[in-house]
Amino acid sequence: MLAGRAEPRRNLYAMTRVAILCGILFLSGIGALIFETLWLRLSGLAFGNSVWAAALILSSFMAGLALGNAIAASSRVRRWRPLHFYALLEVLVAFLGCTIVFGLPLLGELMRPVWQTLWNYQPTLLGLRFILSFLILLVPTTAMGLTLPVLVEDPLLRQANFGRAIGLLYGSNTLGAVAGAVLGEGYLIAAFGLYGTGVAAGLAVCIAAAIALLIAKIDGDTAALIPQRIFPLRLDVSYRPPWRLLVVSFGTGCILLSLEVIWFRFLRLYVASSPTAFAIMLAVVLAGIGFGGIVAGAIHRRSARLNHLLPVLLLLAAISTFLSYLFFPGELIPASTDVFGLSWRQIGLLSIALMFPVALLSGILFPSIAANVQASVGDWMNSTGITTLFNTTGAALGPFLASFVLLPGIGYQWSLILCAAGYVLLGILVSERSSWSIRRPIGLVTIALCAAVTLLLAIFPYNRADVHFGHARHFLGHLVTKIEGPSDTYQVLRYDLFGEPYRYQLLTSGFSMSGTAPQSQRYMRLFAYLPLAFRPESKDVLLICYGCGITADAFVHESRLKRIDIVDVSKEVFGLADFYSGINYSNPLHDPRVTAFVQD
C-alpha cells in the first residue's frame, strides 16, 4: 500500500523536474539562437558576405555542435553532478558568445591585410577562413552541443519516461529558439543594437545556469561545488550503436535543413529578403519542430510503439512536402504586390502553409528516434548524444547539399520532390516486416501512405514552377533565360517595341535588380562619367556590382583606361552578360582590360 502511494509521488516529482528543466532549456534556446544570428550577421565584417563565407560560418557552427554531441555520445559524467556541469557549460556559452560578438568586427580589421594578400588564391583564402571561423566558434558551440545530453543525466529525471522527457526537453529548447528569433530581430536589435542584444543573450543563458545551480543546491548537492582537478567527463564507449536508426537520424536532419534552404529560396519569389522576413520564416520552422517535440513527449508511452510509427511519420513527412507545395496559397498575394509591401502576417501565413506541417513531423521524429536509440544503448546521455550527433551532422550537410548541388543542378521544385523521396526511402529503411503486414492496422496504414505517395508522383503538375516564376516577374515581359544559383534565382526579361528588343530587366528572386531602360542607363552611365570627369588621369578602375553591365560598358568605351576590375558576389550575374543587347552596347566582359572577380 505504501509502495502504491509512493509511485504517484515519484511520478509527480519526475514531471515537476521535467517542467523545471524545460524552462531552463527554453532560456538556453533563446540565448543560443540570438548568438547564432548575431554571429552570422557580424561574421560578414570578418569573413565577407558571399554565399561561401556564410556557408563556412554555418558549417563551423554545426561542426562545433557535432563535436559536443560526439563527446556526449562517448562519455560519462564523472564526480561533477550534471546540473553543475550544465551550469558551467552555459556560463562558457555566455562569456565566449559575448566575446565573439564584440570581437568579430575587430578581427575583420586585423585580418584585412591577410585577405587582401590572398585575394588571388581563393582556395587558400576559403580554407583559412574556415579554420579561423571553426577555431573561434569551437568552444561555445561545443558547449551548446553538450547542454541537452548533459541535462538528461539529472538523476531525478531518470524517474520519468525517457521518450516523454526527451520530447518535452527538446521541444522546449526549440521553442526557446523561436522566442530568440522573434525577440532578436523584432525588438532587441532595434532597441539595444547588436552589442546590447549580445549582452541580452548572455543574460538569458546565465539565468538558465543560475536556475540549474539553484535546483542543484536545493537538492543538497553541495559536494559537487568542490573544484575537481579532472575533467568532469570520461571516455567510455561500451555500447553497440543501432546503425539503422542513426542513419535515419542523419537523413532526417539532412533532409529538413535541405528543405529549409529550398523553402526559403522559394518564398523569396514572393517575399523580399530582409532580416524581418528571415526571422519570421526561421521562427515558423523552429516552432514546428518545437511543437512536434512537445507532441512527441505528450503522446509517448513506450518506445516500441513509436518504433512502429517511425515509417508512418516519415511517409507523412513525404506527403506533407508534396501537399504543402501544391496547395501553397500564392494566389493570396496579387502579382502586382511589391515584395517589400507584405506585412508580417502575410509572410507568416505563407511560411506556415509551406513549412509548418513538415517541421512539426520532424519535431515528432527526433524524440521518437532518440527513444528507440536509448532502448538499444541504455545510457541516457550517450543515446541523446549519439542521436543528436548524427542528426546535427546531417543538418550540417543539408544546407551545402541544397545550396551548391540541388538548387543549381535541378532547381527548387525537383529538389522538393527529391527530399520527399528521401523521406520515403528512410521510411522503408526503418520499417520492419510487420510494418507491411495487411493483418495489422499499422501495415494497412503504411501501405496506404505508400500508395498515396505513388499517386502524388503520378499526378504531380511538373510545370507548377512556371506559375511561381511568373508571379515573381508579375507575368510581364518575355522570359529570355532563368538560372537557379546557390544564392538567388535570376530571371532575364525582354520588353519589345515594334517587334524589336527595347529593354532588358534582371530579376533576383522577386526583386528587380537592374535593367537597360533608357532612363536607367542615364544614371548608371553617370557612375562612370562623373568619376572620370573629376579624375581624368585615372588608369585603373574598380567597379563593385555588375548588374546588366551598363556602368561597365561606359568604362569600356573610355580608351585611356588600362585596367578595369569588376567585383560581384554572384558568378551567375556575369554568366548572364551575353543575354543583353542594344545600340552601342556589347558584353564588357569580352574587353581584354576587364577582369571579373566573384567575391565579397
The pLDDT score that the predictor gives to residue 325 is: 94
Q: Is 180 within the bounds of a domain?
A: yes
Residues 367 and 251 grouped into a single domain: yes
In degrees and rounded to multiples of 5, residue 95 shows phi and psi of -65, -50
CATH number of domain containing 395: 1.20.1250
**71 pLDDT higher than 60:** yes
Are residues 82 and 151 in contact, defined by beta-carbon separation less than 8 angstroms?
yes
Q: Encode pLDDT of 365-382 as tens digits.
A: 988 898 888 888 777 777
The full length of the chain comes to 600
pLDDT at 80: 57
Residues 213, 261 within the same domain = no
User: Between vectors from CA 561 to CA 558 and to CA 567, what angle results, nearest 5°?
Assistant: 100
In a domain, 59, yes or no: yes
The total of structural domains in the chain comes to 3
Nearest Cα neighbor of 262 from 420, 459, 441 is: 420
Residue 3 lies in a domain: no
* pLDDT score of 242: 84
Residues 319 and 265 in one domain: yes
Q: Is the pLDDT of residue 410 over 50?
A: yes
Residue 230 lies in a domain: no
User: For residue 570, which amino acid is it?
Assistant: S
Contact, 526 vs 536, CB < 8 A? no
CATH code (residue 515)? 3.40.50.150
For all residues of the chain together, what is the average pLDDT? 83
Predicted structure pTM score: 0.85
For residues 531 and 569, state if they share a domain: yes
Q: Give the up-direction half-sphere exposure of residue 259: CA atoms within 13 A in the CB hemisphere.
A: 30
Handedness of CA 104, 108, 114, 119 (dihedral sign): positive
| Of the residues 431, 466, 501, the one at which a domain ends | 466
Q: Mean pLDDT, to the nearest integer, of 169-185?
A: 89
**Does residue 489 lie in a domain region?**
yes
Last residue of a domain, one of 440, 466, 492: 466
Asked if residue 480 and residue 414 are part of one domain, the reply reads no
Same domain, 19 and 113: yes
Residue 224's pLDDT is: 42
Last residue in a domain, options 433, 466, 499? 466
Residues 195-210: what's their mean pLDDT?
Answer: 93
Tens digit of each residue's pLDDT (9 = 90 or more) over 245-270: 899 999 999 999 999 999 998 998 88
Q: What is the mean pLDDT of residues 320-339?
A: 82
Q: How far apart are CA 473 and CA 129, in angstroms?
A: 37
Range of the domain at 250: 241-466
Let me know if residue 498 belongs to a domain.
Answer: yes
Helix (H) or strand (E) holding 478: strand 478-484
Strands laid side by side in the 511-515 sheet: 478-484, 489-497, 500-508, 511-515
- Is 353 within the bounds of a domain? yes
Distance CA 546, CA 162 (A): 56
Place 222 in a pLDDT band, splitting at 50, 70 and 90: very low
Q: Where are the beta strands (DSSP E) in 175-307?
A: 233-235
Q: Tell me: do 437 and 496 sit in the same domain.
A: no
